[in-house]
Amino acid sequence: MCFHDGDFPFNILLFLLPVYVIFYLVAILFIRIYMTAIFVKKKDAINVDAVIDM
């Protein structure tokens, strides 16, 4: 039991760390797309679709 209790939180952290990193990168990506879309929207509306597709 002691070994399982010691390993369980470590396994959870090991599992959540990549998930947290992925969500963090996705959030940054969406923020960049959102900000780029706002700046591009003032210049040209066609480029917004190109940015979203990328």
pLDDT digits over 7-20, tens only? Answer: 666 777 788 888 89
Domain count of the fold of the chain: 1
33 vs 14, residue with greater confidence: 33
The pLDDT of 16-40, averaged and rounded, is: 89
Enter the tokens of residue 54. Answer: 């990328």
- Does residue 40 sit within a domain? yes
pLDDT exceeds cutoff 80 at 2: no
- Does residue 32 sit within a domain? yes
Q: Rg of the chain's alpha carbons, rounded to an integer? A: 20
The overall average pLDDT reported for the chain is 75
47 vs 8, residue with greater confidence: 8
- Does residue 41 sit within a domain? yes
Q: What is the pLDDT of residue 26?
A: 95
Enter the tokens of residue 35. Answer: 């900000």
